[in-house]
Amino acid sequence: MRILLLLSILVAVGCGQVAYEIPDTGATLEGAITLNGTPIPLALIIVRSQTATADFVVREEGKYKVPSVPLGLVKIGVDTEAMRGEVISRGMASAYKGPDGKVKEDQAKKLKFVPVPARYADPETSGLEFEIKKGSNTFDIILTK
């Protein structure tokens, strides 16, 4: 009987994995991200308040838009190291020549990895703060070495 009860509990909670949705805050944060004037093509943006965290992957061109960001004062982190694997994967894919021996046009577009100083990866050490209000918020993230 105990085994049956234990099995039922495990099935009910999904073996420890809990799925949940981030509540809609009614606020978005968007902008551009640059390092010494150069757009950051791929990064993980982390937006953290005292009670919640939202993140978003910047993909190419250095533009980002984070949905459902926490309201109030937030700290922002920019982590490019988290995306290094994707840059390597894309580089390998772009080098692949198809059966005809030619690189396809969409594969030829290589993504350059742009490392940012480690202090920016953690919202607590980045020095990037912004006040989020309901609606659309714009904050261009300008990083320096």
Spell out the domain ranges in the chain: 23-143
Tokens of 96: 């692949």
Helix ranges restricted to H, the chain: 2-13, 84-95, 105-108, 123-126
- Of 59-73, 86-100, 122-136, the one with minimum mean pLDDT is 86-100
Coil, helix or strand at residue 136: strand
**pLDDT, position 15:** 43
CATH H-level, domain 23-143: superfamily: Immunoglobulins (2.60.40.10)
Lowest mean pLDDT among 75-84, 91-100, 101-110: 101-110
Residue linked to tokens 């953690």: 122
> For residue 6, what pLDDT band results from cuts at 50, 70 and 90?
very low
Q: Does position 41 have pLDDT exceeding 90, yes or no?
A: no
> What confidence tens digit (pLDDT) does each residue in 111-143 have?
677 899 999 999 999 999 999 999 999 999 999
Quote the pLDDT of residue 107. Answer: 46
What SS3 class is residue 44?
strand
pLDDT computed for residue 42 by the predictor: 87
- State the virtual CA torsion across 122, 127, 128, 133 in degrees, nearest 10: 110
| pLDDT score for 23 | 78
